[in-house]
Amino acid sequence: MSDFIIVVHGGAENKDRSEIGMEQDAAYRKGIDKALQAGWEILNEGGTAVDAVEAAVRTMEDNYLFNAGKGGAFSDEHENTFDAAIMDGNTLKCGAVGDVKKVKNPITLARLIKDKSDHVFLVADGALEFAREQEMELRPEEYFRTHKQEEELEKALKEKGKEKPSKEKLMKDTVGAVALDKHGNVAAATSTGGLAGQHNGRVGDSPIIGGGTYANNEIGAISCTGDGEGIMRANVAHEVYALVKYKNMSLHDAAAQACNVYKDKISGDRNLIALNKDGAIVFQFETKLMFRGSRIGQEPPYVAIWKEE
């Protein structure tokens, strides 16, 4: 078994350096580093991969720069709704939440669904009711409203008015983490604020087990980001699993193929992070950048944004 590992992503975008700017570049790197540190501290103390990925994702949900939690995108009705999922690769237990409002940390709600509910997936008012039953921290609408989100919604609504809208540079990111703990178990977690200007009630790929999130000790753990509809249609996370399990592909090759399967029929970018028990780490992305990082055992953290890093 490899040393313990934490890997995170804060989404993947088709933006240039000039659009990000030096100040935001540094802020994104700081956010990724903080997420790595949160997960690493748990793993270093002998904690579980599930605890580590939840902690890592929570830090990004609390950071307005990322499209999850506090920084979640606005729907076409100017509302914030959240999707999230978490999965334990050892037990195959998982929890997911979709189209939920007011919950400060949707990934923790997904964790509570996994641990304390008879179900896997709760949505909308039912998910919020469960959050209240679990005495989760809720926040008013104002907490989730930032200038960045307002700008993204304005762009989204303008794109919708075009005859041929282009969504390449609209907010559609996700945050996620995968981890390997000292006990040899893997886990995955993914959280998102959805697509800027999305229709009320839309749920993306992030909470879909086998779509945007999957973990299984036999194969590894995967967290996706990109065009949610395309990732769901291609069943990307499970496709990685299937290619490794049934075709004996390496994790790296499986990830590359899963992100390209049925490209003639399914448009949109597909990107992911993945990790297995042997310590193989994959950052697979077709966009210009991916906010990403990893840390292996006592080695220094790796934090990157651009392809050449």
Marked catalytic residue, from 108, 174, 192, 213: 174
47 three-state secondary structure: coil
Cα separation, 119 vs 117, in Å, equals: 5
CATH code reported for the domain at 5-306: 3.60.20.30
- Single pTM value for the model: 0.93
Q: Which among 204, 194, 166 has a CA at the least distance from the CA of 73?
A: 194
279 is in an annotated binding site: no
The predicted structure's pLDDT at residue 43: 98
pLDDT, one tens digit per residue, over 220-230 is 999 999 999 99
Q: Does the annotation list 213 as a binding residue?
A: no
Told to judge if 48 belongs to the known catalytic residues of this protein, a careful annotator would answer no
- The Cα 173–Cα 261 span in angstroms is 21
139 is in an annotated binding site: no
CB 89 within 8 A of CB 215: yes
User: Residue 169 pLDDT > 70, yes or no?
Assistant: no
Structure token pair of residue 102: 């007011």
pLDDT tens track for 174-219: 999 999 999 999 999 999 999 888 888 999 999 999 999 999 999 9
194 is known to lie in a ligand binding site: no
Beta strands at 281-284 and 270-275: parallel, antiparallel or unpaired: antiparallel
pLDDT per residue as tens digits for the range 70-112: 988 887 777 889 999 999 999 999 999 999 999 999 999 999 9
